[in-house]
Amino acid sequence: MSAEAPNPLPNDGTIARADSQTSRTALRFVLLIGVLSFFADFTYEGSRSILGPFLALLGASGTVVGVVTGFGELLGYGLRLVSGRLADATRQYWPITIFGYVVQMASVPALALVDSWPAAAVLIILERVGKAIRNPPRDVMLSHATKEMGRGWGFGVHEALDQTGALVGPLVVAAILVLSSVNTGSGVTLLWQPSPLRAGAEAHADVVRDHGE
């Protein structure tokens, strides 16, 4: 009697464990990107809440404030076409995303170092450019991760963290300005604080992404 050939196919239990592990890795990645987005929104929405008074403090007129912020928004959305096309062409989604976050991470706190409104205007526009660079490739990676855990749930978790940062940032800046009686220039300096946390989230999310591939 010949020996029974081993079954090369995995059983249902093995498949279920693999799917569960993949879902957990995807959730970790989404949460880490969400934390990264939380601190990003905390930083730049906190700065945007005091941009008008800050530019006025440096001698800018109301017209200048409107032109600078409007042009920044134009680039912030228009350049996403370039960033998205570049990400698809190179397949370098993560490096492009990190580069965009670094541009934001550097430009917002650097506002505390300028002493003229033209220099501040360059940094304000640069921050919007950073967001335009990182959003399309980041969303591509999120779409792949949420495929493993449910797209609605995954994008909902990320968006909740993102918008919470956008809410908390301006409130914290306003509270500190009121309670400590510092000026808007000093208030921008406070936005350095989330940067190391964002850098740590980027690094950890990179590890989780590589582990899940």
| Residue pLDDT, tens place only, 167-205 | 998 888 888 777 776 555 544 555 544 444 444 444 445
pLDDT digits (tens, 9 = 90+) for 24-56: 888 888 998 898 889 888 888 888 888 888 898
Residue 85, Cβ neighbours under 10 Å: how many?
11
Q: Amino acid letter at 97?
A: T
pLDDT of 150: 84
Domains of the chain: 36-212 (1.20.1250.20)
Contacts of 199 by beta carbon, 8 Å cutoff, 6+ apart? 105
pLDDT digits (tens, 9 = 90+) for 141-171: 998 888 878 888 989 999 999 999 999 988 8
Q: What is the mean pLDDT of the chain?
A: 80
pLDDT of 4: 54
Nearest Cα residue to 212 out of 14, 15, 33, 23: 23
Cα separation of 111 and 51, whole Å? Answer: 10
- Inform me whether the pLDDT recorded for 88 exceeds 60: yes
- Inform me whether the pLDDT recorded for 208 exceeds 80: no
In this prediction, residue 117 has a pLDDT band, given cuts at 50, 70 and 90, of: very high
Note if the pTM is more than 0.75: no
H or E element at residue 88: helix 80-90
DSSP SS3 for 1: coil
DSSP string across 121-187: HHHHHHHHHHHHHHHHHHHHHHHHHHHTT-HHHHHHHHHHHHHHHHHHHHHHHHHHHHHH---HHHH
Q: Which range has the worst mean pLDDT, 8-22, 114-128, 162-176?
A: 8-22
